[in-house]
Amino acid sequence: MVDFDPELINRIFETTEPVPVTREKIAKFCAAIGETNPLFTDDEAAKKGPYGGVIAPPSYATTFRNGRHFFQHVPRYGRAGMDAGKDVEIIAPIRPGDTISLSSAVKEIYDKTGRSGTMVFVVVRSTLRNQKNEIVAHIDHRFMNRP
């Protein structure tokens, strides 16, 4: 099994400055990805919807960036690696007027074998919170290392 310091797990290594969410930003994001759902684009229609107003589309959660030094804190194993994908879990709507900050920690480290040999995976979880300190989303960044 891969050797690592268990104290690394779930220890938050960075929290970003809050980033404001505006109605305009949501509109631009919707235009960029071709989103036409009135829950995200039409103020009048969204008012009558389940959220009482426009909210950001779920994929908007991926627009928030980690800090500049994020990769300095991601453990590395061996000589090479690659981004092995991301899982996004939406917990609560992101609304215009919110400010969102990310805090990141190593969630999991594990190894596995595949066609190409042994790989070590490091999963870093970024938790998105709004100005009320409510969790709005989790993003799990999965990095593969070749030991």
Write out the residues near other proteins by the rule CB under 8 A: 1, 110-118, 121, 142
* Contact by Cβ (8 Å): 129, 115: no
Q: Please, which residues have CB within 8 angstroms of residue 97's CB and are 6 or more apart in sequence?
A: 20, 21, 22
Q: Compute the distance between CA of residue 141 and CA of residue 105 in angstroms, rounded to an integer.
A: 10
* Contact by Cβ (8 Å): 117, 75: no
Minimum CB distance to other proteins smaller for 42 or for 140: 140
| Closest approach of other proteins to the CB of residue 57, in Å | 19
Q: Compute the distance between CA of residue 114 and CA of residue 89 in angstroms, rounded to an integer.
A: 27
| Closest approach of other proteins to the CB of residue 110, in Å | 7
| Closest approach of other proteins to the CB of residue 3, in Å | 13
| Closest approach of other proteins to the CB of residue 87, in Å | 8
Minimum CB distance to other proteins smaller for 25 or for 107: 107
Minimum CB distance to other proteins smaller for 2 or for 74: 2
- Residue 79 structure tokens: 């000589």
